[in-house]
Chain A
Amino acid sequence: MHEKLTYILDRHLKNQGSLISLLQDTQDVFGYLPKEAINWYSKELDIPASRFFGLASFYAQFHLHPRGKNLVAVCCGTACHVRGAERIINAVQRELNLDDLSDTTDDGEFTIEKPACIGACSMAPVVLINGKPKGKANADIITKEIRALKKAGTKDNG
């Protein structure tokens, strides 16, 4: 990991990029922003790690934790909220054994995300499963979808 980080940081320093672009490059390489990366930059650049985190967590584009193979994004915009996004989230969490503090399953198979309005309010509530939108969703439909993915996953692995 250190080699990769050194490479990213060197390039960043050469181009005099912003911290944001440093974080973007890092996410491009690792798929998310690993703690070790932030701590390492913090030491190298003498900028508190809390500041990096503050910045990274401010922008929705950054992922602070490794993401699962499958992404379940339950829209939490106003329209979806009104139409029961909360119930879907509860169901997904139950199905995947997750709570408000953890959004990726221990086996790294699933990540649940709660984006703000994704611009498909007419189909609210909307859930994106691996990028594919499911409109007029409900807890049952989504649970079924997840179970299907789980099955496929076991097959892949087995």
Chain B
Amino acid sequence: MIDLTIDGRKISVREGSSILDAAKSLGIFIPTLCHHPKLSSFGGCRLCIVEIKGTRNPVSSCTAPASEGMEVTTSSPQIERLRKMVLELILSDHPYDCMLCETAGACELQELAYYYDAKHTTYAGERRKYEKRDNNPFLNRDMEKCIMCGKCVKICDEVQGVGAIDFAYRGFKSKVCPQYEEDLNCEFCGQCVSVCPSGALTGRMWARKGRQRDIREVDTVCPYCGTGCNITLHIKNNEIIRVSSSPDTWNEGLLCVKGRFGYEFVNSPDRLTKPLIREGSAFREASWDEALEYTAARLLDIKNSYGSDAIGGLSSAKCTNEENYIFQKFVRAAIGTNNVDHCARLCHAPTVTALASIFGSGAMTNSIAEIENAEVIFIIGSNTKESHPVVANRMIRAFRKGAKIIVADPRRVPLARFSEIFLQQKPGTDVALLNGIAHIIVKEKLYNSEFIKEQTQGFEEWMKSVDSFNPEYTSSITGVPKEKIISAARTYGSSRKAGIFYAMGITQHTTGYDNVCAVANLALLTGNIGRPSCGINPLRGQNNVQGASDAACLPDVYPGYQSVGSPDVREKFEKKWGTPLSAEKGLTATEMMPAAIQGRLKALYIMGENPVLSGPNTGNTIKALESLDFLIVQDIFLTETAKLAHVVLPGSCFAEKDGTFTNTDRTVQLVRKAVEMPGDARDDLQIISAVSARLGYKLEYEGPEEIFREFREVWPNISGISYKRLNKKRLSWPCTSSNHPGTPFLYKQGFPKGKASFTPTAFAPPAEETDAEYPYILTTGRNLYQYHTGTMTRKSGAIESHAGRAYIELNTADAERLNIIQGETIKVSSRRGSINIEARIVDTISSGVVFVPMHYCEAIANILTLDALDSRSKIPEFKACAVMIDKYNSSPPDLI
């Protein structure tokens, strides 16, 4: 520790602290412009100067280290005069059009000028003129207002890992720009905008929507991915005009392009505002009374003629915990069936089933914040940088702190740039790869014998199962060179602070369950579980997919993963809900479709899901939905699925209601209402309870908080969580009493089930392999900009203008062989159907593999995919099927 005196007050600080840090911990304010606590220091603006006794010239406190016995003065007439001079110098080269500036009122430069009474005229000379305008759809870059603080350059490089911009030219002409002053073409995360101290960087869509006056700010949670970033909505006249995130949120103010710029859908003119009832092939508007009566009457009718099990419900991981809780309660108690599921079936069903059977719980074991202190980060089957961008920010920070990153993916995903080892396995060979890694860890005795002895069982048995996976064999299956397999095994195997991160690349296979088991085996083998910064970390897709599972929109469990098969549990819920419940497990989402085609399922109530695009084998999904006697879709837009409905009920979006979301690391966060719903759209809770009442089962609550109270009464893991506590602080479950701090990482005290078992896994090829006719492996997924079926992002103008076109990625060599050029439309077919789509030739994908993002209704990836299911978790194989590629044939597929 170092002792020094600042403005006559004594303080001791850690070695390496700057004078600025020291002053801050004393609560002494020193003005800064180029300093940012999370970025390396630059020392360019000279605003933070202080005097040090015994030193002649003032020094920049942000770069000068505190040293023993130092006596610092942070403010004196001399210093204040110098600071004012610095400001006036900056202003002399500034357009001074605060009148029109988007940032006025929130501008650090303006604020400092105001306090220092710094005027514009003192050094009036020539001013920089930059006429070039950047035409990207997200950011306005007005470089005449740039004060060259460098924060944007640093955050883009150090935090975002992109480096899209840098200082260019020199002297008077110097400026910050992309190469060759081109238009910005980057990840458009807007981190640079958030740190810019002037009006140089702003959101393009903010322009002239309102600045500081008459703006309400509401703190809530991003509605897109499972990362669960905290955002602040800026509201003017019932319209969201800007999204920001404060540096003191858990995500430190970092967001991705969707969270920061993907909000325009809320105010889209395409929002559903009136209930719709099908008449022939068209819809007509209806009153709520009519729509609700009709819905209830049809449901009752079907229930009476075919029984409750002829009805199913699909809920949404976009909706709140409270809505999901009520939805499954409605299906179970009012309709009387366990036929309720949600899209987790299509993403993490293997995680939930496999991890629950091994450990007793199927969630991320460790928290996102812990990532930055990991030693080794093993990412397999997750395109983290695009699908969970702010999780990737933590990984990049870990990298900067020296962590080693291993990436295994059939595509060279962007995070591979930071990897020490990149393994490009063939789609569908993950079990082999993971077993091959385990083989080396076993052979080289890198495993954690103590942990294996104390906390696991079945080790000896299991060891035999990886025996055959020697590097040669593994390499022959996966296509990964054996040296890389060995070095990945050594890197992961010899660390005791190593976390595995995975997503759909692991789960969306017919071997999804085994894939997850193989991941779990590695963690058990090395004991990388039950401590900080390690663990098994399934990155969950949707903002509230964890919560929708917790709330039991699942056919086999009641809220809190309590089995519907257990008579005791059932009795408990029958008592609580005051009605007899079905003892039969229900249908999964993927089983509902065939059941509809076979006529066993007659009615389906879909809340906020779009299975036409998201389900496998689109042709089949459409056929299934069309076979239903009655389809109810409750949504905010007329989605491809809603178009097939008999009745469409206009619901509300995340910004229009109160509730909670549970993010991927089990953290429950408050969602707050910011704007009113459009037209006659209604709160989803009200809609469900209105239908339920008409079916004779009362679901009456004062509001979401009361529902949450009921939820926590039936599930001890969240019994300590309340809205009141959440208002102050997010809480990760388990949180079992009102003073329990929440649980960032699981299994500190061992596994609740006792010992965890190793699970032998065998390699099995994908359900459909390539052959002469269909020689390419198709894998599907997401891109950075769009979200899932695009219901929201495609209604957000900037995103759509930037990433509005469907494309297929194929390797340069394949393109050459097929004589396909960049941007050409080609025809891709599988045994299920075909799509016409634009070719994007890349070298990030292996030859023989092609990739289509799932977002686009013009070229539905799932027309191609097959509905083969993993036998245990019922997830479809989205990540591998066989396709052929032809030059364009002008007859477009005609499915919707």
Known: A35-B179, A35-B180, A38-B179. Is A50-B165 also a contact (CB below 8 A)? Answer: yes
Known: A50-B179, A64-B180. Is A57-B168 also a contact (CB below 8 A)? Answer: yes
The answer to whether B114 has its CB under 8 Å from any CB of chain A is: no
The answer to whether A156 has its CB under 8 Å from any CB of chain B is: no
Chain B residues within 8 Å of A51, by CB: 163, 166
Q: Closest Cβ of chain A: how far from B816's Cβ, in Å?
A: 14
Known: A39-B179, A101-B131. Is A50-B169 also a contact (CB below 8 A)? Answer: no
The answer to whether A8 has its CB under 8 Å from any CB of chain B is: no
Q: Closest Cβ of chain B: how far from A90's Cβ, in Å?
A: 15
Q: Closest residue of chain A to B182, judged by CB?
A: A35
Q: Decide if B166 touches A53 in the complex (CB within 8 Å).
A: yes
CA distance A47 to B178 in the complex (A): 13
Q: Closest residue of chain B to A50, judged by CB?
A: B166
Q: Closest residue of chain A to B181, judged by CB?
A: A53
The answer to whether B656 has its CB under 8 Å from any CB of chain A is: no
The answer to whether B157 has its CB under 8 Å from any CB of chain A is: yes
The answer to whether A3 has its CB under 8 Å from any CB of chain B is: no
CA distance A48 to B165 in the complex (A): 8
Chain B residues within 8 Å of A42, by CB: 179
Chain A residues within 8 Å of B417, by CB: 46
Q: Closest residue of chain B to A42, judged by CB?
A: B179
CA distance A54 to B178 in the complex (A): 9
CA distance A104 to B458 in the complex (A): 74
Contact of B166 among A48, A64, A100 (CB under 8 A): A48
CA distance A38 to B165 in the complex (A): 14
CA distance A31 to B373 in the complex (A): 48
The answer to whether A49 has its CB under 8 Å from any CB of chain B is: yes
Q: Closest Cβ of chain A: how far from B842's Cβ, in Å?
A: 11
Instruction: Enumerate A10-66 residues with CB–CB distance to B below 8 Å.
Output: 35, 38-39, 42, 46-54, 57-58, 64
The answer to whether B132 has its CB under 8 Å from any CB of chain A is: yes
Q: Decide if A48 touches B157 in the complex (CB within 8 Å).
A: yes
Chain A residues within 8 Å of B178, by CB: 49-50, 53
The answer to whether B164 has its CB under 8 Å from any CB of chain A is: yes
Q: Decide if B179 touches A52 in the complex (CB within 8 Å).
A: yes
Chain A residues within 8 Å of B168, by CB: 50, 53-54, 57-58
The answer to whether B64 has its CB under 8 Å from any CB of chain A is: no
Q: Decide if B167 touches A54 in the complex (CB within 8 Å).
A: yes
Chain B residues within 8 Å of A39, by CB: 179
Q: Closest residue of chain B to A57, judged by CB?
A: B168
Q: Closest Cβ of chain B: how far from A95's Cβ, in Å?
A: 21
The answer to whether B162 has its CB under 8 Å from any CB of chain A is: yes
Interface size class for chain B? Answer: 10 to 19
The answer to whether B177 has its CB under 8 Å from any CB of chain A is: yes
Q: Closest residue of chain A to B175, judged by CB?
A: A57
CA distance A39 to B185 in the complex (A): 13
Contact of B163 among A50, A64, A100 (CB under 8 A): A50
CA distance A5 to B416 in the complex (A): 24
Q: Closest Cβ of chain B: how far from A115's Cβ, in Å?
A: 13
Contact of A58 among B165, B169, B177 (CB under 8 A): B169
Interface of chain A, main secondary structure: helix
Interface of chain B, main secondary structure: loop
Q: Closest residue of chain A to B164, judged by CB?
A: A50
CA distance A48 to B164 in the complex (A): 7
Q: Closest residue of chain A to B843, judged by CB?
A: A43
Q: Decide if A100 touches B179 in the complex (CB within 8 Å).
A: no
Chain A residues within 8 Å of B170, by CB: 57-58
Chain B residues within 8 Å of A57, by CB: 168-170
Q: Closest Cβ of chain A: how far from B540's Cβ, in Å?
A: 30
Q: Closest residue of chain B to A59, judged by CB?
A: B170
Chain A residues within 8 Å of B157, by CB: 48
CA distance A97 to B157 in the complex (A): 39
Q: Decide if B131 touches A100 in the complex (CB within 8 Å).
A: yes
Contact of A48 among B129, B131, B163 (CB under 8 A): B163
Q: Closest residue of chain B to A46, judged by CB?
A: B417
Chain A residues within 8 Å of B166, by CB: 48, 50-51, 53-54
Q: Closest Cβ of chain B: how far from A49's Cβ, in Å?
A: 4
Q: Closest Cβ of chain A: how far from B685's Cβ, in Å?
A: 48
CA distance A48 to B177 in the complex (A): 12
Contact of B179 among A46, A53, A58, A101 (CB under 8 A): A53
Q: Closest residue of chain A to B167, judged by CB?
A: A54
CA distance A49 to B165 in the complex (A): 8
CA distance A35 to B181 in the complex (A): 11
Q: Closest residue of chain A to B157, judged by CB?
A: A48
CA distance A148 to B179 in the complex (A): 36
Instruction: Enumerate B97-130 residues with CB–CB distance to A below 8 Å.
Output: 129
CA distance A100 to B131 in the complex (A): 9
Q: Decide if A101 touches B132 in the complex (CB within 8 Å).
A: yes
Render B146-164 as a binary contact track against A, CB cut-off 8 A, 1 for contact: 0000000000010000111
CA distance A64 to B178 in the complex (A): 13
Chain A residues within 8 Å of B131, by CB: 100-101
CA distance A57 to B163 in the complex (A): 16
Q: Closest residue of chain A to B416, judged by CB?
A: A46
CA distance A48 to B417 in the complex (A): 11
Chain B residues within 8 Å of A47, by CB: 163
Q: Closest Cβ of chain B: how far from A150's Cβ, in Å?
A: 27
Q: Closest Cβ of chain A: how far from B192's Cβ, in Å?
A: 12
Q: Closest Cβ of chain B: how far from A10's Cβ, in Å?
A: 19
Q: Closest Cβ of chain A: how far from B406's Cβ, in Å?
A: 17
Chain B residues within 8 Å of A101, by CB: 131-132
Q: Closest Cβ of chain A: how far from B519's Cβ, in Å?
A: 28
Known: A48-B157, A48-B163. Is A53-B180 also a contact (CB below 8 A)? Answer: yes
CA distance A29 to B531 in the complex (A): 56
Q: Which of A48, A58, A101 has the most CB of B within 10 A?
A: A48
CA distance A2 to B802 in the complex (A): 29
Q: Which of B168, B170, B178 has the most CB of A within 10 A?
A: B168
Q: Which of A42, A51, A52, A53 has the most CB of B within 10 A?
A: A53
CA distance A102 to B164 in the complex (A): 23
Known: A38-B180, A50-B166, A51-B163. 14 other contacts (CB 8 A): A35-B179, A47-B163, A48-B162, A49-B178, A50-B164, A50-B165, A50-B178, A52-B179, A53-B166, A53-B178, A53-B180, A54-B167, A58-B167, A100-B131
The 7 closest A-B pairs by CB, nearest first: A48-B163, A54-B166, A53-B179, A50-B166, A49-B179, A57-B168, A57-B169
Which B positions have Cβ atoms within 8 angstroms of A? Answer: 129, 131-132, 157, 162-170, 177-180, 417
Q: What are 28 A-B pairs at a CB distance below 8 A?
A: A35-B179, A42-B179, A47-B163, A48-B162, A48-B163, A48-B164, A48-B166, A49-B179, A50-B163, A50-B164, A50-B168, A50-B177, A50-B179, A51-B163, A52-B179, A53-B166, A53-B177, A53-B178, A54-B166, A54-B168, A57-B168, A57-B170, A58-B167, A58-B169, A58-B170, A100-B131, A101-B131, A101-B132
